[in-house]
Structure 1
Amino acid sequence: MKPQDRIFLISGGVSGLGLATARSLHSAGAYVSLLDLNADSGAEVVQELGERAKFFETDVSDTDSIAAAVEGTVAWVKDTGKSIGGVVAGAGVGLPGLIIDKSNTPLALSSIDFVLNINLHGTLDLIRQTLPSITTNTPSGPDGERGVLIMIASSAAFEGQMGQVAYAASKGAVASLTLPLARDLSKYGIRAVTIAPSLFESNMTKVMGAKVRQGLERVMEFPKRAGQPEEFARLVMECVENQMLNGTVLRLDGAMRMPSKL
């Protein structure tokens, strides 16, 4: 599927991996619907990209907020005459915490819910609400493709470290739902792919302490550095254009395998 003249919804689309993805898709001729909480950054990105970009202030943990963004994007579809090509569910958070601390106090359920509501619930809800507009697309190409869904997991889905129970659970769930999602949607010609990055430059990693960051870089085999958002975006573009990528989780991690602790 070619991204040109198709609309892609990108949650977390005005910073980090989401912004790099938006820029790559836009440069390939796509229209980008940017869903994020940061209205100031959203306005700046729309000004940068121009008329083929729209911003919708969106809290992906709130189903009504997602509904408003999807409705706004569907209205844009009608205005432009372009169809929705897919979703990149890039919104995510990390909130470390041991399941039980040194004082024998269990991890607060509110902390667990915060991570799950954004990383898992927000991913599924955005996809769920957008699908009716993709399933009704006119099939394109010899295979009759209608769209692609791209989700974001993490190395933590496979080797979560101490303090990552909630985060690993959310990302492991995203990895696990990829194949059944692809199977559910196969009759519509809609693909589902998940990318599992390791340490990448993003707003989440900016708040890491130097010791933690250096420890993570040490366990990467090659290259021994954080990934660049543009490298992530290149894989997203391959997921969009390569129809044989479906129902799978792609690790993008410099051969990193995280130890239990640093």
Structure 2
Amino acid sequence: MEMKNCAAIITGGASGMGAATARMLAKQGVKVALFDVNKEAAQKIAAEIDGFAVTCDVTQAESVESAAAEAQKQHGPARICINCAGIVHGRRMVSQQGPMPLDEFRKVIEINLLGTFNVMRIAAANMMPLPTLGESAERGVIINTASVAAYEGQIGQTAYSASKGGIVSLTLPAARELAQFGIRVMTIAPGLVDTPMFSKISPEARASLEAMVPFPKRLARPEEYAMLVQQIIENPMLNGEVIRLDGALRMQPK
């Protein structure tokens, strides 16, 4: 799909992979709307790329519907939807403190999985009435973010892996459902990505993590996620699939 002059929404666009994707899309002439709970941080990125920022809680139907309406007023209907909003989580199902609180598990599922679906359904509904583009007769593309933890979840990642595994599982049925409307659905499953989360760990811990990646022996860069997003948008045959972005990494039990 030709990106120039299209409108896009990016959840979790205030930092990390979302911000890198926002910058990439803006360089390609895309009108970018950033949905994030941290509006101040999102506004900084929006100002940098001449985009639009709106406060959005992806777990709430009304919040997503309102944000999508605001973005549409600003940029027109979005043909590109990138779901980067999510949280990381690490806690054993049963620890010395007892069973994991159920509300803790529920929160991870609600933000990562329910939040992704919530945005998908609104984005798809808004894409369906749009005129088709080009020879492939596309109307839009939705790209979600899972994790290699969906496949090799480590000890303490039951909640996180379940949430990301759900995103992996919904990819194909969503793509099949939306195919008749010319809307593609893809998922990226990153490995270890150099986001602000890794700035808090020691140099020794970082080196240990980098050593786990077969090649290249380093953490992935947010810009490499954005590069893959660009390839997915531009290649109409990429549909209904999950692509790992991990340097051949396979996570160990712990």
Q: Would the TM-score normalized by the shorter structure come out above 0.5?
A: yes
The count of aligned residue pairs is 254
Query: Using the alignment, how far apart are the partners of 1:184 and 1:139 within structure 2?
Result: 17
Query: Using the alignment, how far apart are the partners of 1:102 and 1:46 within structure 2?
Result: 44
Contact 1:8 1:33 in 2 (8 A): yes
1:95 aligns with 2:93: no
Query: Using the alignment, how far apart are the partners of 1:207 and 1:10 within structure 2?
Result: 25
Give 3-state SS (helix, strand or coil) of 1:239's partner. helix
1:167 aligns with 2:160: yes
- Identity across matched positions, percent: 39
Q: Deviations over 1:66-98 (max 9, x none)?
A: 111011112224xxxx44212100001012100
**Structure 1 stretch displaced more, 56-65 or 121-130:** 56-65
Q: Taking structure 1 as reference, are residues 171 and 205 closer, same or farther at Cα in structure 2, changes over 3 Å only? A: farther
**Structure 1 stretch displaced more, 239-248 or 202-211:** 202-211
Contact 1:7 1:30 in 2 (8 A): yes
Q: Taking structure 1 as reference, are residues 240 and 194 closer, same or farther at Cα in structure 2, changes over 3 Å only? A: same
Give 3-state SS (helix, strand or coil) of 1:33's partner. strand
Q: Give 1:234's aligned residue.
A: 227
Q: Give 1:62's aligned residue.
A: 60
Contact 1:8 1:84 in 2 (8 A): yes
* 1:199-210 aligned within 5 A: 199-208=192-201
Q: Give 1:24's aligned residue.
A: 24
Shift of 1:215: 3.4
Shift of 1:223: 1.1
Query: Using the alignment, how far apart are the partners of 2:19 and 2:222 within structure 1?
Result: 8
Q: Which amino acid aligns with 1:34?
A: L
**TM-score normalised per structure 1:** 0.93
Contact 2:124 2:183 in 1 (8 A): no
**Structure 1 stretch displaced more, 3-12 or 60-69:** 60-69
Q: Give 2:39's aligned residue.
A: 39
Shift of 1:210: 5.0
Shift of 1:244: 0.6
* 1:67-82 aligned within 5 A: 67-77=65-75, 82=76
Q: Which amino acid aligns with 1:110?
A: D
**Which of 245, 249, 253 in structure 2 is aligned with 1:256?**
249
Unaligned runs of 5+ residues in structure 2 are none
Contact 1:85 1:148 in 2 (8 A): yes
Q: Give 1:125's aligned residue.
A: 118
Shift of 1:45: 1.6
1:150 aligns with 2:143: yes
Q: Give 2:236's aligned residue.
A: 243
Give 3-state SS (helix, strand or coil) of 1:175's partner. helix
Shift of 1:188: 0.2
